[in-house]
Amino acid sequence: MRLSIGVRALVAAGAAVLLAVVIGVVVLLVTGGSDDAASGGGKCGTADVAKGKPVEASSSESDAMSPSYVTDGNPESRWGSAWGDPQTIQVDLGASMPICRVGIKWEKAYATAYDIQLSDDGQQWTAVYSTTTGAGGDVTAGVAGSGRYVRVLLRARATVYGYSIWDIQVNSGAGASTAPSLPPGATTEQLLSYMKPAEASSTRDTSQCTRCDASRVVDQDTATEWVTAEDKTGPAWVRVDLGAVADVRRVELVWGKAYAREYTLEGSWDGDNWTQLSTTDTGTGKVDDVPVTGQARFVRVSMKKGLSGGGYALWEFRIFGTGGAPIAPPGEAEVPSEPYSLVWGDDFDGASGSAPDPKKWVAEVGPGVTGELQYYTNNRNAALDGDGNLVIKAKREVTPGSKCPRDPVTRSTTCQYTSGRLNTNGLYSLTYGRVEARIKVSGTQGLWPAFWMLGADLYTGRATWPNSGEIDIMEHIGREPGISSSALHAAAYHGGDGIGGKYHTGGDLSDNFHTYAVDWRPDKIVFSVDGNAYFTADRAEVEKTRGPWVFDRPFVILLNNAVGGPFPGPPDSRTRLPQDMVVDYVHVYR
């Protein structure tokens, strides 16, 4: 999203003046009339370099209030604008020069909110002073920057009339600078905000959102988020202390579902005095990648208006640039390159009736989830067949003392079916590569065999589902015998709103073995059946249209043969049990 920088379309009485969208450089503002440019060096000159220079404005109330009057040196003449917001008035100094001070003599019709900006070309502007508490009178602003043009962007009037200025004076000083020195460091852009101290106006800590505090926006983990304490859309903020002054070049906001429609990015050197970096009132959520240029130790996003009743939520608040005191984030997972090699797998070789290899698979025990009707046993329903296959058997079998959703056949809430579910948690996880399995699925009404992956964070308790992420490589349901389904699930898209596709065959997938695979890379995930790619999830498109991409972390592998649930529907009179899901192998290539 491209954001305006403190500027909207200018509207004057009876005329609209389009102001160029600008990207602001924010530097510290020193108010007052000191002759010293700043601690950084240089003296601020006393000569008014704006005197007699050309002036343009967005509007004039009449010919008797010409913009040129602000530089004519006559204390009796003034400029007055049309009655509308916002307005601009700019002085052309004739050549680029260092600017150390700007003075404004207000008439009674002053601005309460305004920016002083500099530019070399009259198109791209740098904000060097900003206030929302202007009180009129004579203002002298010590600033730091350079430019040929000096502009005052007038954003809010103190009266019902337009804006009126008697005089604008500009002082120049070679070497003037109010900026503290940047520490030596890298000259290339890097992530500055990772694990830096973060604060927020409020945070949430409930059973639905545990420890959703400001620290979550700097942990480089889109499975954790910051959320406001209450579902309201008034003002809120999050700020990050970079540890030292940095050249800030880019800010990336990864929004939760409760995003801000109107927000402002601000920078500060001391955490008390803030200057606008960027602002928008047309936010659409998802991921905002905002280019900015400025020096700041503290960076803040101030949210002003959001979705009705939704509060605000941010997955990540990433700040990029040079300088600061960055902490290096953990190294990214190695991206596999072709040709691939087998790095992990199980060919299920072993004696008939033996359990799956305990060094590779963990048996999950207990009732199913998502409305399933089976009870998963400790490998009583999962065993090798002696011919190089794993068999996961779903059968009608009561488990005394258990509790499941009501079985529509028997009307009992005691689990009426058993099956098996295996995972690799604690034994093997991966990030990126090709994951495939050769499987002959079960196939009758109400059964739901699956080959899939879950984010390892789910098992450590760091994240809940669906925040942890899920990659469904193959799901098959008995009522659709010729279809294999794939899906991606995350906090912003899950359940029936997951992202996925379907592979259609002309026959019944339960009749034969088929190879189900996913090719998983940082920028995309490609799903295939028997080598036929049928669905691709593109990271850039997902982040642009659906929400955060959480598939850049370790995942574990799962196999199960479920009974019932909302996707396949419950067993009925057509259901034939027992049913086997037969797995020839599971392989991982990198």
What size, in residues, is the chain? 590
Tokens of 442: 């079960």
Rounded (5°) CA angle 264-266-267: 170
436 belongs to the catalytic site: no
Distance CA 175, CA 99 (A): 9
Q: Is 447 helix (H, G, I), strand (E, B) or coil?
A: strand
Distance CA 415, CA 556 (A): 27
Our measurement of the distance from residue 200's CA atom to the centroid of its chain's CA atoms, rounded to an integer in Å, reads 17
Cis peptide before 329 (omega within 30 of 0): no
Can you point out the beta strands (E) in 41-124? Answer: 55-57, 79-80, 87-106, 111-119
Yes or no: say if 23 and 291 are a contact pair by the CB < 8 Å rule.
yes
- Look at strands 579-589 and 390-396 and give their pairing: antiparallel
- Look at strands 342-346 and 313-323 and give their pairing: unpaired
What values do phi and psi take at 355, rounded to 5?
-75, 160
Work out the number of other CB atoms within 10 angstroms of the CB of residue 567. 20
Yes or no: say if 149 and 93 are a contact pair by the CB < 8 Å rule.
yes
Nearest partner of 265 among 564, 25, 576, judged by Cα: 25
332 belongs to the catalytic site: no
DSSP character string of 209-248 = STTB-GGGGGSS-TT--EE-SSS--S-EEEEEEEEEEEEE
Tokens of 500: 């996925």
Which residues are 506's β-sheet partners? none
What values do phi and psi take at 70, rounded to 5?
-75, -15
Phi-psi region of 159 (alpha: psi -120 to 50; beta: other; left: phi over 0): beta
Cis peptide before 578 (omega within 30 of 0): yes
Which distant-in-sequence residues (6+ apart) come within 8 Å of 377 by Cβ? 363, 365, 399, 418, 419, 420
> Would you give the DSSP letter of residue 40?
T
Active-site residue, selected from the candidate residues 225, 316, 372, 475: 475
Distance CA 590, CA 304 (A): 46
Active-site residue, selected from the candidate residues 225, 266, 397, 470: 470
* Residues designated as active site: 470, 475
